[in-house]
Each structure stands twice: as structure tokens, then as C-alpha cells.
Amino acid sequence: MVDRAVLYLRSLLPDGYSQQQAATLDRVAELVDRGVVGDRQVRVCGCQVPASPAATRTSAGERIVTRLAACREWASVNDCSLAPAMEFRNVDDSLSGAHYRAVRLPAILLVEYRDGALWCVTPHRDGDTPRTVEDRLDELATGEPTAFEPLSREPPATLPVAIDQTGQDEPDDESADDPENSVPITPQ
């Protein structure tokens, strides 16, 4: 059983995405009602976050960056990739004059915890196989989820862990600003 499912929802998406997000929230609520998932938490976030805590300006931003670093560590431990759902890009903010690396977030990110350990992050790519949030919810509903190596610790929110680590960076994608290029929740 999943003790806790945390859903990170990207805000301000084009038509169609909010309906997919609502359907996913309903589906997870059903899994909670059936006892498959113990608790559901929802976090709303923007389309991107800085790639390091030093570049964030709020404690909420720092927490998200730290959680995403744990997600990347989980992916590394399990020989999975979070790309293209999460992609790095260079940001040049002409209003503030800031220049930094950022991570573009998917429309929905599902993070599962069991016994205090980070158990699964979806969407992800396992080898050549893309795994969508819908795929993972199907697995949980049938009681036969793919088993992964859990990440038994998560860095504390104040740890200066960068998501953007040398040698683990995915290439930038000029089309990443377009939400239509996000990894879909459902296979197309």
C-alpha cells in the first residue's frame, strides 16, 4: 500500500490539461477510498523552478527544489529517467536581470511514499518505456505495481542540493516553453 501520494500540479495550462488533472485527482481519491493509497496531498506549482536552492527566493520554492532533487536521486538509483517530463533550460529574466538554470515541470508529477521512503516518481522512463501517471495508477489499482528500489531518505528542505548536477543534465529543448510539448498524462 502507498502510504502517501503527493501530486504536483502545474498551474496555468492550456485547455484540456485541467480536465486531465481533475480526472487524475478523482482517480487518486478513489484509490484512497479503496485503501490502496493512505493519504493524498496536492501541491500546485508553476511551470518551472530553479535548479538549485540558492536560486530560489522563497522557502516554498526551496522545498520543491529539494523534493525534485530527491526525485532525481530516486531515478538514478532505479536506472530511470525523468526526462522529458522534467527538462533543464537556461532562464534569462530580462525584468530582474537574473540568469539561472531551471527545471520545467510536467502537468502532473506523482510521488509515492511507503514507510517513509520515496517509492516511485511518475512520469518517468524505464529504459525505452515511458511510464505515465495513468499507467502507474492502473498498476496501483490492480494491486500489481512495478517494484522499485526505494529512496530511504529525502534531503532536508534546507540542504543545498542542486537538481542540476554535472553529468546528469538532460539537453535543453527550445520547445520546452510550450506546454503542448510536456509529457502527456495519457499515452497518445
pLDDT tens column, 56-81 = 888 888 999 999 999 999 999 999 99
pLDDT tens string 127-181: 999 999 999 999 999 999 999 999 986 544 433 344 554 334 343 333 333 333 3
Helix axes 133-142, 17-33, angle to 10 degrees: 20
Positive/negative CA dihedral, 168, 173, 178, 182: negative
Q: Domain map of the chain by residue range?
A: 2-181
Integer Cα distance of 128 and 43 in angstroms = 29
Phi and psi torsions of 55, nearest 5°: -90, -5
